[in-house]
Every structure is written in structure tokens, then in C-alpha cells.
Amino acid sequence: MKWVTCAAIVGLMSVGHSANADDKLTVYSYRQAFLVEPILTRFTEETGIGVNLVFAKDGIAERLAREGRLSPADLVLTSDFSRLVELVDKDLTSPVKNTQLESNIPAQYRDPDGQWYALTMRVRNLYTAKDRLGPQQITYEELADPKYKGKICTRSGKHPYNIALVASMIAHHGEAEAKTWLTGVKSNLARKPQGNDRAQVKAVKEGLCDIAIGNSYYYGNMMQDPEQKSWAEAVTINFPNQADRGAHVNVSGMVLTRHAPNKANAIKLMEFLSADVAQKAYADVNMEYPVKADVAPSTLVASWGEFKSDQLPIFKLAEYHQAAVKLLDEVQFDL
């Protein structure tokens, strides 16, 4: 029995050792590795600071909360706004006051207290079938119009992108009206919410539905994928609500964790991510809109034209996040 105990102790020590071995930064990312990795490699080349990138689809906030002061994470990258807010709400962030960050990122794209900083913007577009509907002056409100019965495809309502959209509807119209709207959208769905944003565009191409809800950058990404190009070509990208308040915008962003073991270097990385090189990379690699004012979107993205975005301050979305989740449950959107 003794050797078993010894082996266990040695095993544990080596595991613990490897977990703590280096002074590298650790980044927990909701954004996929292939997107972030090239930028981080540049950062390491320029500064000599190594970065461990770990990707997870779900549960980073829960994990950080549980790991508490023992967490190895310095920085969290999120792919949408609600997750930034979730981290702040759970008290998992450290405020950062930094002139470079503040000059790179316009005020509406960062927390007044420096708890979070946005990095890129994306529009929640409505894609329409090129051959059946063509370009449309469409609004989010119209998605509930019975004329689109059986014609709309979307991913799960509980996905952060959709939650943020519902939150913006609550912010503009109030909870009661938003509920009526959401019920209307649900009854217009061609199929039960499923798959990701690309899958909805694919469904339009296949003729399963005529309108797909999806983020802007997917359109650009699909254009560049040999397999998916035909999907994207079957649809038109529309910026909704151009006649009134403008299209719903979401942001990806970053936070410094509350217990970051390596704060100084982490802030260096934050600065790097908000600066020209990284911003340009986000724009070119993932077809997003950079937050830094003087960095232009990619030519492809620019070719979709100028658009008016919803001026609702982003942090307002946070206020209605929980309400939006509950609303989605109440109308049983996904069921």
C-alpha cells in the first residue's frame, strides 16, 4: 500500500508543478484559438512574454468563480458583451486605468470604471434569400410579422448573441412588448432553434427558410471558405432598422481577472490587443469591425457599405440580460 501512496503523492506534485511551472500569461478565451493565436504569437515575438491560450465554449465565468484566488487566468477574452458583464457581475474582474487603452478604445466601448474593454464590434444581421426575397429594408420588429410565418431560422435563443438582441428589444420597447414580439418570432420559426449562425444561412440556401439571423463576420468568413461560399452567395446581407434606431451591435472584449497572477504583463497584452496591429488582424482575419477608430475594416467588410448602428449604450444591454434570459424561458423559445 505504501508505494501506492508514494506514487500518488509524486503524481500530484508533478501535476501541481506543471500547473505552476511557468510565468507565462494564461488567457481563458471564449473566442476560438485559430482567431486569437496569430495575434498572441505576434505579442510574444514583440515582448518575449509567453501566453497560454485555453479555449472553452462555456463555463469560463463559472470556472473562474470556483477557482477564486487560485485561478491561473490573467485575462479573459469573450466573444460577446453579455459575457463581459457576467464576469463583472460576479466580481471576477479587476479595474484597469490605462491611458493607452483609453485612447485606443472609444468611451462607448469600455466600462467607465475600466472593468472591461471591447475589442471588436459585430452587427446582428438579417440574411435574406437572394432568389426569394432579395435585399430588404427590414427591422427586427418585423421578424414577428405573420407574413414571415415559417420563414425564419435562428440558433438557440439562449445563445449570448440572441440574448443580447432580446435585451436590446427590452431596452427599447419594455418587457411586455418584447415578450409579444418574441412570441411572434417563435411562431414564425421554420424549425426549432438549432445549430450555429452559419447553419442558418445554409438552411436559407437549402430553401428551408427565407430569413436567417446571424452575425456580420460569418458572412465574410463563409465567403472565404470554399465549402461555405455557396451558402453565403445564396443570401443577401441586410443591416436592419436603418430607417430608425440602427442595427443591433454586439462587442467582443477582454477583462483582467480579479486574481490575475501576472497583472503587469496582462495589461501589456491588453494594450497590444487594443493597438493597431491586433485591431487590424481582428478586422482582416475575422471580418469584424475594429473598435479603434483609425483602423479600417477589411475591404470585404467595407464593401457591405456604411450602416447606422444602434446608439443604445452597450452597458444597457447588461441591465436587461437576466430579463432577456427569463423571457426566453417564459415563451419557451427553444422548446
Partner 1 sequence: MILGLARSWSLAGYAVATLLVLPLVALILQALQPDEAVFGHLMATVLPTYIINSLLLIFWVSLGALLLALPCAWLMARCEFVGRRYLQWALLLPLAMPGYIVAYVYTDLLDYAGPVQRSLRSIFGWNSPQDYFFPDIRTLGGAACMLSLVLFPYIYLLARTAFMEQSLSLAHASRIMGCSPWQSFWRLSLPMARPALAVGVALVAMETAADFATVNYFAVPTLTTAVYDTWLGYGNLTAAAKLSAIILLVVFCLIGLERFARRKQQLFQKQSRIQASDLYRLSTAQTTVALSFCVALLLLAFLLPFGILISYAIGYFEQSWDGRFWQLSLNSLSLALITSLICCLIALLLMFVRRISPRPSDVLPSRLASTGYALPGTVLAIGVLVPLTMLDFAINDLADLLGLNGPGLILTGSVVALIFAFCVRFVAIAIGSVESSYKRISPSLDMVSLTMGQSPRQLLQRVHLPLLGKGLFAGALLVFIESMKELPAALLLRPIGFENLATYVFQFVSDEKLEHGALAAIVIVLVGLVPLIYLNRSLEHHS
Question: Interface with partner 1 by CB under 8 A: which residues?
Answer: 1, 4, 12-13, 15-20, 28, 52-63, 65-68, 70-72, 86, 90, 150, 156, 158, 190-196, 198-199, 202-203, 206-208, 325-326, 329-330, 332, 334-335
Q: Which is nearer to partner 1, 4 or 176 (CB)?
A: 4
Q: Which is nearer to partner 1, 45 or 58 (CB)?
A: 58
Strand partners, 213: 126
Alpha carbon separation from 233 to 132, 134, 200, 227, 284 (Å, rounded): 13, 12, 13, 11, 20
Least Cβ distance, residue 197 to partner 1 (angstroms) = 11
Least Cβ distance, residue 38 to partner 1 (angstroms) = 18
Least Cβ distance, residue 90 to partner 1 (angstroms) = 7
d(CA 147, CA 65) in angstroms, rounded, equals 46
Q: Which is nearer to partner 1, 38 or 106 (CB)?
A: 38
Q: Name the nearest CA neighbour of 136 among 125, 120, 146.
A: 125
Least Cβ distance, residue 229 to partner 1 (angstroms) = 16
Least Cβ distance, residue 115 to partner 1 (angstroms) = 17
Least Cβ distance, residue 158 to partner 1 (angstroms) = 6
Whether the CB-CB separation of 284 and 298 falls below 8 Å is answered with yes
Q: Which is nearer to partner 1, 87 or 295 (CB)?
A: 87
Sign of CA dihedral 227, 229, 235, 239: positive
Q: Which is nearer to partner 1, 62 or 177 (CB)?
A: 62
Whether the CB-CB separation of 58 and 229 falls below 8 Å is answered with no
Q: Which is nearer to partner 1, 156 or 183 (CB)?
A: 156
Q: Name the nearest CA neighbour of 39 among 235, 286, 232, 281.
A: 281
d(CA 129, CA 233) in angstroms, rounded, equals 9
Cell numbers standing for residue 159: 445563445
Least Cβ distance, residue 138 to partner 1 (angstroms) = 20
For every residue of 127-156, DSSP letters joined together read: EEETTTT-S----TGGGG-GGGTT-EE-S-
Q: Which is nearer to partner 1, 308 or 326 (CB)?
A: 326
Whether the CB-CB separation of 161 and 80 falls below 8 Å is answered with yes
